């Protein structure tokens, strides 16, 4: 029966060789628990601790507690040993092994937590900060182009609303404002951007009340652009009743656009009208003209285009819609004997590109003399090769740009 006492124990803790990385100065608790097969004649099992394959000494920084429980039938014994290790120096780290009956063992390996963990955390923090800075930079650089792309693709199309102009431009009659509107603002918006502007240098709101002309003109425009120069801010209603005038404008138009200028005098920058507009940025669009805004790629024009209606670009149709749908190959619709770009014309169907009836003769006056009989049969001439039987069936009533076979010189 001695073989029963020599059976290997069943370790509950640790389940295998465990590796721990406690910090220096901490206290680690190592729990070694095992079931040991026993019998009435077997000695009581005990647990022995080893450090680096050497018996553990009686140092003060070790705390050892042992307990055991025996089953009622004395068939198994549960032994537990708890070792507390106070890590005060680098020598306290190592491999701790718990052995039962000097036959079976299980180990704990203590490694010192070096600066690598902190380095990883620092590198991760720097990486996150770099990603945030890159995202902020991309937002600043690409915000307006992305918004313009979204407006061009998914923006609201303001069509068939009875409006004749895209924007109503109000400015003062000073020479500086006239130059800015006529030589900078209008060419950029109309020629380069395709907008249609209505210019007006009269007082926008005399006595803070809209005039009849203003009501009519604003009703024909989709937006309102106000050039807030020093001369414009010098008008009486801007100084005394701008709040009431702004309320009237908000009732008449959709989100008015106000253009201010950088470099204005200090008293102009502190104007009550500008202070009121800054307070109501959520109701208006406030743009600032800077010295570098004159370039077409500046942020000023992008922000202004975002505030204006979306422009829809239509592809011009090739040729006339009537002949495009009917696939008409009539050489009469060919200008100066040339086919429009993108269209092909079979030369066999157009023997004379200058006209349907060949060389044009006189219309008024005596008919030309008949050529002498040469024995050539009718039907062998050039005119017999052209089929003009379908000219009367073609529909030219809807066309207004076809040329007449009778010129002015013939009449």
What Å distances lie between residue 384 and 310, 349, 358, CA to CA?
57, 13, 11
pLDDT at 198 over 60: yes
What Å distances lie between residue 402 and 49, 185, 315, 322, 361, CA to CA?
111, 40, 23, 12, 19
Q: What's the pLDDT band for 396 if we cut at 50, 70, 90?
A: very low
Q: Kind of pairing, strands 104-110 and 18-20? A: parallel
What Å distances lie between residue 151 and 18, 157, 258, 377, CA to CA?
61, 9, 21, 71
Per the model's pLDDT, the better-predicted residue between 40 and 370 turns out to be 40
Per the model's pLDDT, the better-predicted residue between 199 and 400 turns out to be 199
Which DSSP state fits 296?
Answer: T
pLDDT at 339 over 50: no
Distance in Å from the first CA to the final CA of the chain: 142
Q: What's the pLDDT band for 377 if we cut at 50, 70, 90?
A: very low
Note the helical H segments in 70-115: none
Q: What's the pLDDT band for 77 if we cut at 50, 70, 90?
A: confident
Share of the chain above pLDDT 70, in %: 71
> Which of 167-171, 181-185, 330-334 is predicted least confidently?
330-334
The string of DSSP codes covering 30-66 is: EEEEEEEE--TTSPPP-EEEEETTEE----TTEEEEE
**pLDDT recorded at residue 158:** 84
Per 3-state DSSP, the chain is made up of helix, strand and coil in percentages (nearest 5) of 35, 20, 45
pLDDT at 124 over 80: yes
Q: How far apart are CA 278 and CA 245, in angstroms?
A: 16
Please, are residues 31 and 13 in contact by the beta-carbon 8 Å criterion? yes
Tokens of 166: 């895209």
Q: List, in sequence order, every residue forming a beta bridge with 142; answer none if it has no partner.
A: none
Three-class SS of residue 95? Answer: strand
Q: Collect contacts of 3-6 with beta carbons under 8 A, ≥24 apart.
A: 4/37, 4/38, 4/39, 4/42, 5/37, 5/38, 5/39, 5/41, 5/42, 5/43, 6/101, 6/103
Q: How many other C-beta atoms lie within 10 A of the C-beta of residue 218?
A: 22
Q: How far is CA 77 from the centre of its chain?
A: 71
Q: How far apart are CA 222 and CA 388, in angstroms?
A: 53
Please, are residues 253 and 207 in contact by the beta-carbon 8 Å criterion? no
Q: What is the pLDDT of residues 397-407, one digit of tens each?
A: 444 444 444 45
Per the model's pLDDT, the better-predicted residue between 94 and 160 turns out to be 94
**pLDDT recorded at residue 222:** 92
Q: What's the pLDDT band for 257 if we cut at 50, 70, 90?
A: very high
pLDDT at 4 over 60: yes
**pLDDT recorded at residue 409:** 57
Q: What's the pLDDT band for 75 if we cut at 50, 70, 90?
A: confident
- Residue 139 has phi, psi (to 5 degrees) of -65, -40
Q: List, in sequence order, every residue forming a beta bridge with 223; answer none if it has no partner.
A: 167
Q: How far apart are CA 345 and CA 335, in angstroms?
A: 13
Tokens of 388: 């003009």
**pLDDT recorded at residue 301:** 94
pLDDT at 350 over 60: no
Three-class SS of residue 277? Answer: helix
Name the packing angle between helices 242-252 and 212-219 (round to 10°): 40
**pLDDT recorded at residue 14:** 83
Q: What is the pLDDT of residues 275-302, one digit of tens each?
A: 999 999 999 999 999 988 999 889 999 9
pLDDT at 15 over 70: yes
**Spatial CA neighbour of 300 closest among 308, 309, 290:** 290
What Å distances lie between residue 106 and 14, 44, 267, 333, CA to CA?
7, 19, 85, 100
Average pLDDT, the chain: 76
Q: List, in sequence order, every residue forming a beta bridge with 19; answer none if it has no partner.
A: 109
Please, are residues 205 and 251 in contact by the beta-carbon 8 Å criterion? no
Instruction: Tell me the average pLDDT across 124-130.
Output: 94
Instruction: Tell me the average pLDDT across 63-87.
Output: 85
Strands, DSSP E only, in 132-195? 165-170
Q: How far is CA 326 from the centre of its chain?
A: 43
Residue 100: HSE in the Cβ half-sphere, 13 Å Cα cutoff: 30
Instruction: Tell me the average pLDDT across 32-40.
Output: 83
Q: Write out the H or E segment, with its range, that includes residue 79.
A: strand 76-86
């Amino acid at each position: 029966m001695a073989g029963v006492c020599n059976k290997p124990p069943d370790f509950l803790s640790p389940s295998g060789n465990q590796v721990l990385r406690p910090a220096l100065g901490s206290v680690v608790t190592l729990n070694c628990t095992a079931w040991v097969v026993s019998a009435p004649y077997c000695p009581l099992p005990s647990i022995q601790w080893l450090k680096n394959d050497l018996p553990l000494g009686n140092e003060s920084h070790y705390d050892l507690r042992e307990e055991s429980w025996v089953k009622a039938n004395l068939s198994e014994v549960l032994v537990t040993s708890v070792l507390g290790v106070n890590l005060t120096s680098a020598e306290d780290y190592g491999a701790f092994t718990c052995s039962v009956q000097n036959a079976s063992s299980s180990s704990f390996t203590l490694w010192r937590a070096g600066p690598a963990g902190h380095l990883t955390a620092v590198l991760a923090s720097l990486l996150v900060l770099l990603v945030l800075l890159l995202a902020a930079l991309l937002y600043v650089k690409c915000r307006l182009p992305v918004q313009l792309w979204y407006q061009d693709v998914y923006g609201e199309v303001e069509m068939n609303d009875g409006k004749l102009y895209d924007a109503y431009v109000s400015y003062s009659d000073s020479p500086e404002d006239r130059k800015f509107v006529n030589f900078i603002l209008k060419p950029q918006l109309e020629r380069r951007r395709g907008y249609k502007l209505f210019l007006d240098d009269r007082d926008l709101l005399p006595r803070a009340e809209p005039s009849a002309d203003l009501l009519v003109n604003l009703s024909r425009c989709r937006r309102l652009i106000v050039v807030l120069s020093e001369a414009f801010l010098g008008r009486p209603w801007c100084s005394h009743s701008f709040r009431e005038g702004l309320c009237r404008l908000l009732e008449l138009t959709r989100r008015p656009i106000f253009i201010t200028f950088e470099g204005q005098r200090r008293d102009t920058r502190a104007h009550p009208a500008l202070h009121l507009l800054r307070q109501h940025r959520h109701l208006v669009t406030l743009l600032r003209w800077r010295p570098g805004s004159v370039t077409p790629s500046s942020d000023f024009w992008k922000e202004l285009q975002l505030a204006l209606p979306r422009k829809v670009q239509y592809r011009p149709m090739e040729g006339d819609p009537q002949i495009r749908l009917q696939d008409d190959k009539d050489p009469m619709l060919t200008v100066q004997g040339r086919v429009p770009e993108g269209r092909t014309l079979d030369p066999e169907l157009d023997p004379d590109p200058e006209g349907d009836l060949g060389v044009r003769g006189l219309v008024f006056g005596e008919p030309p003399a008949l050529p002498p009989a040469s024995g050539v049969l009718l039907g062998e001439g050039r005119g017999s090769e052209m089929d003009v039987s379908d000219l009367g069936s073609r529909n030219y009533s809807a066309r207004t740009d076809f040329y007449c076979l009778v010129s002015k010189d013939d009449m």
